[in-house]
A and B are shown apart, each in its own frame.
Chain A
Amino acid sequence: MLALLPQLLLTGITIGSIYALIALGFVLIYGVTGILNFAQGEFSMLGALVCATLLAWHLPLATAALISVAATCVLGALTERLAVEPAFGAHPLTLIIITFGVSMALRGLALMLWGADPYALPEFTPGPPLVLLGGVLVRQAVWAIGLSVAVVGALFTFFVRTVPGAAVRACADNAFACRLVGISPRRVSLAAFTLSAALGAVAGIVITPITGATYDMGLGLGLKGFVAAVIGGLGNAPAAVVGGYLVGIIESLATGYLVPGYAGAITFLVLLAVLFLQREGVLHGAQRRQA
């Protein structure tokens, strides 16, 4: 059975890179606003479906992808303005339920616009898969992995090296003090949703050549990305990326060595375990938000 291991790991990394990108979106919004955004997966769905439609209109892939990311950004901003901002300062539970509502609404709208059939995108760089240690890795997975690393790098640079980034971090630390120095927490929240929507759209577009895109792909992806974010402690972008890869590898190993079919259950068992074990850390994060 050891012969399976390289393939299991490579598969885990492939799926994990997708979870990582979605987890990053979670962390970005949670870190800045304290909101757990369960509509995160829907951004991926919209990014993928919009891109597939533009491609069907004979736009080049890169153009289609860019327009689709931009469109999803607008949608992220609208979500923030129409659904989250009006409930600003409400209890975290209220906001969680709101994001579930947004998720349902977007899924319903997507079904009206695109129907239930799956859509395809071509691989960014077509070609035979790479062979590594006896396992194979599709080329598109390299894109997904590369993008998740690049995004972490970009976020890190943004938050640590730039003034707006520092403003956002300051806001996350202390909203009141931020207002005192003229930074609006609401604008920061808007920015966080817009950026997260972009991340989600990128994730959706990158994975569609591997998996296809359907109107109902969002909730499942969002929940897995969320588990990844929780494993990473919810406040820490690099840890969330690691969490994403961990969830992917755990799923893949569970499918490969335990009973296939239970991977979904195992992911959420991991979530429960992490919630229990890291209670202190998680609670600490929550209290920090409430300050």
Chain B
Amino acid sequence: MKTFAMGGVHPEENKISTEAVIEQFPLPKTAVVLMTQHLGAPATPCVAKGDKVKVGQLIGKAEAFMCANVHSPYSGTVAKIEGCKDAFGIVKPAIYINVEGDEWEPTIDRSATIVRECTLEPKAITEKLKEMGIVGLGGATFPAHIKYSIAPDKKAEYLIINAVECEPYLTSDHRVMMEHAEEICIGVSILRKALGVPNAYIGIENNKPGPIATMKAMAAQFEGIIVQPLKVKYPQGAEKQLINAITGRRVPSGKLPIDVGCVVSNVGTAFAVYEAIQKNKPLIQNILTVTGKKLPSQHNYQVRVGTTYADLIAHSIGTLPPTTGKIISGGPMMGKAVSNLDAPTTKGASSVLVIDESEASRAPESNCIRCGKCMNACPMGLEPYLFSALVKNDRIEEAGAHNILDCIECGCCFFSCPANKPLLDEIRLGKNKYRAIMMAKKK
């Protein structure tokens, strides 16, 4: 069975919420919609205080190149346009909405009928992706219209749909595939058309037999969709690793997937693309897992963007268990600990993971014994122990010469380190410093 060539680790899977059917999350009374829910510049608010908005109405316009439109997930009145602290306490521009009823834009098709035919031309598809504010839902929230506008000197050969979900605990992609297989396949066909590639590969790890069977059965009804089961190994869901696993190609250092003829999108993105193109529904909802070993119940929700983390916890489990140690947005390997529970969720949020005290804190750090486990685990073939030493001694440019920027921050090195050295922290710091040096040099 296929997998990527280099490195990788096997963290405990802990997929305990796979059986939880996707529920609709109730509407809050007031909501905050951040203007930076994507990679790049913040969107510019295009409504004013006191304006009435409907669900799906454009409220944040993408003016910069690297930006995505933001639509209102609620109907109601704009209370204020002001900064709001995100999950990590950093103030971001935001629009506050007093929710009144649930009135949708009339252009949005809310019926349950599934529309298979798509008559749009490739160019019109990317235009519509831009209009609907679609971003990649695999974590990086890269604006989709930029990804699918291929430069004239490059050619896409493969469309790869990332349904690997290699992070422990997360099950949102699993549930989407179980419940919306047909919509996903239509979404994939649309993306395939936008790129003009013959085949699309859906990569699914072997620990998800249910979704593999469902997707295989559904893909048989569509032309050019191949479901590719993969051997379980973290970080298979990372773009470059997935390309390697499916096509055998390697993305060179500093290059993008399109340079080896590949375009990778998340399975959640494919679902969002279906809804945007066929149903005129902008990206205002996403599927989110609320999970944790010590929680009384596990949930998968379809949540409107802008619901607060506190609301999610209060509605799903009531109160947090008294022994809660950490709340993580995203998976345990790459996610970030939430320090502000009153923050709203964004388009890219994939889970609320509640970690128990006993598992939350780090083990004491000791000295590097040069065992090389981090090198064996690194899926990019880098030398984490070396970066650690270089960054500590402020030899940032040397670290840059050893391709520190190639690090995908998957955390395999930290996970495998027997000395519990904060390797990933040091590498991240080194990357930040190196980028700052490069920026200064450019000027």
Q: Do A and B come from the same complex?
A: no
A-side residues, CB < 8 A to B, are none
